[in-house]
Amino acid sequence: MGAFITALGGLWIGLVKARSDAQAAKGSRMDALEARVDKMQADLGDEREKRRSVEVDNHRLRMALVTAVKHLEQLMRWADGGAKPPRPDDIDLDEIKSLLKA
């Protein structure tokens, strides 16, 4: 009878330990998963920042191109009209340069 109680106690302790180990393993996996999610969120934030920067650069380059084409069209109309003085003086290359430098 004593051996039976000892065996039953050993079995009980083994089950409790196995359950505890399973919970610890789940906790470790959850911690690892949370760390991966945190890293992915940080990477996503970095990617969003890069994307915004590229979109701003793209917009500025587009505006510079539109402005340059507008000035070129004015010069072409002036040249087609015989290039009589005065030449178009509302052409501001500094505007284009500032868009490209930013």
Q: What is the 3-state secondary structure (H, E, C) of the chain?
A: CHHHHHHHHHHHHHHHHHHHHHHHHHHHHHHHHHHHHHHHHHHHHHHHHHHHHHHHHHHHHHHHHHHHHHHHHHHHHHHHCCCCCCCCCCCCHHHHHHHHHC
pTM of the model: 0.59
Q: Where are the domains of the chain?
A: 2-101
Q: How many CA atoms lie within 13 A of 35 on its CB side?
A: 6
The answer to whether residue 102 scores a pLDDT higher than 70 is no
Average pLDDT, the chain: 88
Residue range 11-44, pLDDT digits in tens: 788 888 888 888 888 888 898 999 999 999 999 9
